[in-house]
């Protein structure tokens, strides 16, 4: 008996481990074809759409389900073809497809110009017409972010989440947290914890640098001059800029491979995630798996992940951040071990695997 077929669609820039994990999970039970969409944010997007259109026109009949990571330009045609040819479609929503923060150009719901209106239309069409949305955190459904504007008394808290923009799709959303392999993220006990603060995040531009809270972490490091900080993920231009400046207690690094990252996670006593917006904070989860004591902003999935194993920053304020980081550095190492247990118990790879396979099976069985 031949396996049912699934078309797995992702953007060419979406290569995070949690995305590729879903691909491998689906391959356990189904015949999965990966389609990588090369949509560019310029005139070449027309050719990208044409290429995708022709592929779907001649191939969609082969598949029973289309599984797409993120709602954006690249998701509209797969959802459209799936609907027209009576196939099922699932969109995994990760974060930027559930918000709009103009100050840092974050979110696909932004409609400030024609190009962004087209992107927003593609996003909305995808979410309205897909059979099911899988969000990585409850806050991506409906949320009030009290941290992002907490330093500006003239601004109200940010309201976001899919239902804030498309309220009529409430019944098509399921929460499935991303999962982490406890064997892959297991700390070598021969590596001692060191008294420094680590933060990790991919920042291809200055807006992402701010979104990840690296600017606030630098300001905090200026105050905590006796504490060492390591920031990983800055782009080459940012790396040159900060290397040229004088930051005696901050080490800046560009992107590292996972083996190098695991070493830093294993060594750092404290991990700081001071994001302005974050779905489920994967780097934070990885760090906690390797027994870092977490300090995080009160944003989206961050406090849910941390629970009672670390420290939450409620105000975008250097004084408060400094206080929470100092408390974490003075905490016993047992708190880091509790952080690891929390991820294993609540955000395991096996839990996501079981959920994804069950949801897909049920959806494909429906007529």
- Label each residue of 61-95 as H, E or C: HHCCEEEEECCCHHHHHHHHHHHHCCCEEEEEECC
3 state DSSP class of 253: strand
Query: What value does the mean pLDDT take over residues 86-108?
Result: 93
From the list 123, 204, 207, the residue with the least C-alpha distance to 169 is 123
High-pLDDT (> 70) share of the chain, %: 98
> Mean pLDDT for the chain?
94
Query: What value does the mean pLDDT take over residues 305-323?
Result: 97
* 43 has a pLDDT exceeding 70: no
Can you tell me which residue has the tokens 């083996």?
259
> How much is the pLDDT for 116?
87
Residues 106-156: pLDDT tens digits? 988 988 888 889 899 999 999 999 999 999 999 999 999 999 999 998 999
User: Is the distance from CB of 206 to CB of 214 less than 8 angstroms?
Assistant: no
Question: Alpha carbon of 180 to those of 98, 129, 171, 352: distances in Å?
Answer: 23, 30, 27, 9
Any residues with CB less than 8 A from the CB of 213 and at least 6 apart, and which? 199, 272, 273, 274, 275, 276, 297
Q: Give the confidence band of 42 by pLDDT, cuts at 50, 70, 90.
A: low
> How much is the pLDDT for 245?
84
Strands 194-203 and 173-175: unpaired
User: Is the distance from CB of 62 to CB of 82 less than 8 angstroms?
Assistant: no
3 state DSSP class of 109: coil
The first and second tokens of residue 104, run together, are 């840092």
Residues 331-355: pLDDT tens digits? 999 999 999 999 999 999 999 999 9
Count Cα atoms within 13 angstroms, Cβ side, for 208.
Answer: 12
Q: How far, in Å, CA of 198 to CA of 208, rounded?
A: 17
* 41 has a pLDDT exceeding 70: no
* 73 has a pLDDT exceeding 70: yes
Q: How far, in Å, CA of 114 to CA of 312, rounded?
A: 39
Question: Alpha carbon of 145 to those of 133, 139, 235, 298: distances in Å?
Answer: 22, 9, 27, 8
Q: Give the confidence band of 40 by pLDDT, cuts at 50, 70, 90.
A: low
Count Cα atoms within 13 angstroms, Cβ side, for 345.
Answer: 11
Q: How far, in Å, CA of 306 to CA of 317, rounded?
A: 20
DSSP 8-state assignment for residue 178: -
Range of weakest confidence among 5-9, 63-67, 74-78, 151-155? 151-155
Q: Give the confidence band of 46 by pLDDT, cuts at 50, 70, 90.
A: confident
> How much is the pLDDT for 5?
97
Query: What value does the mean pLDDT take over residues 247-251?
Result: 93
* 246 has a pLDDT exceeding 90: no
3 state DSSP class of 286: helix
Question: Alpha carbon of 9 to those of 89, 104, 162, 319: distances in Å?
Answer: 11, 27, 21, 44
- Say which residue, 189 or 174, is predicted with more confidence: 174
Q: How far, in Å, CA of 54 to CA of 40, rounded?
A: 17
3 state DSSP class of 143: strand
Residues 196-216: pLDDT tens digits? 999 999 998 999 999 999 999
Query: What value does the mean pLDDT take over residues 221-225?
Result: 95
3 state DSSP class of 348: strand
Query: What value does the mean pLDDT take over residues 299-326?
Result: 96
* 15 has a pLDDT exceeding 90: no
User: Is the distance from CB of 202 to CB of 214 less than 8 angstroms?
Assistant: no
Does an H or E element contain 121, and which? helix 114-129
- Say which residue, 95 or 91, is predicted with more confidence: 91
pTM: 0.92
């Amino acid at each position: 008996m031949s396996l049912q077929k699934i078309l797995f669609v992702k953007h060419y820039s979406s290569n995070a481990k949690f995305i590729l994990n879903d691909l491998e999970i689906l391959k356990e039970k189904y015949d999965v074809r990966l389609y990588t969409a090369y949509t560019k944010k310029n005139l070449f997007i027309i050719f990208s759409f044409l290429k995708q259109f022709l592929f779907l026109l001649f191939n969609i009949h082969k598949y029973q389900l289309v599984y797409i990571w993120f709602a954006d330009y690249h998701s509209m045609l797969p959802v459209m073809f799936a609907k027209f040819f009576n196939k099922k479609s699932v969109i995994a929503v990760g974060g930027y497809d559930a918000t709009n923060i103009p100050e840092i150009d974050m979110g696909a719901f932004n409609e400030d110009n024609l190009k962004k209106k087209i992107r927003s239309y593609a996003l909305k069409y995808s979410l309205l017409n897909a059979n099911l949305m899988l969000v990585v955190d409850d806050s991506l459904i409906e949320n009030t972010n009290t941290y992002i504007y907490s330093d500006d008394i003239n601004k109200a808290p940010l309201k976001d989440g899919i239902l804030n923009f498309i309220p009529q799709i409430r019944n098509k959303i399921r929460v499935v947290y991303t999962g982490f392999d406890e064997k892959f993220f297991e700390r070598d006990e021969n590596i001692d914890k060191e008294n420094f603060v680590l933060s990790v995040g991919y920042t291809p531009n200055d807006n992402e640098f701010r979104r990840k809270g690296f600017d606030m972490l630098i300001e905090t490091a200026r105050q905590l001059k006796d504490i060492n900080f390591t920031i990983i993920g800055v782009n080459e231009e940012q790396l040159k800029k900060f290397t040229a400046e004088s930051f005696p207690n901050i080490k800046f690094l560009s992107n590292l491979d996972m083996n190098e990252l695991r070493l830093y996670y294993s060594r750092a006593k404290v991990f700081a995630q001071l994001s302005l917006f974050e779905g489920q904070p994967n780097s934070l989860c990885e760090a906690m798996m390797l027994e870092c004591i977490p300090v995080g902003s009160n944003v989206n999935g961050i406090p849910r992940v941390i629970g009672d194993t670390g420290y939450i920053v409620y105000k975008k304020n250097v004084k408060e951040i400094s206080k929470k980081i100092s408390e974490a550095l003075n905490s016993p190492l047992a708190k880091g071990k509790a952080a690891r247990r929390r991820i294993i118990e609540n955000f395991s790879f096996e839990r996501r695997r079981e959920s994804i396979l069950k949801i897909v099976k049920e959806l494909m069985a429906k007529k």
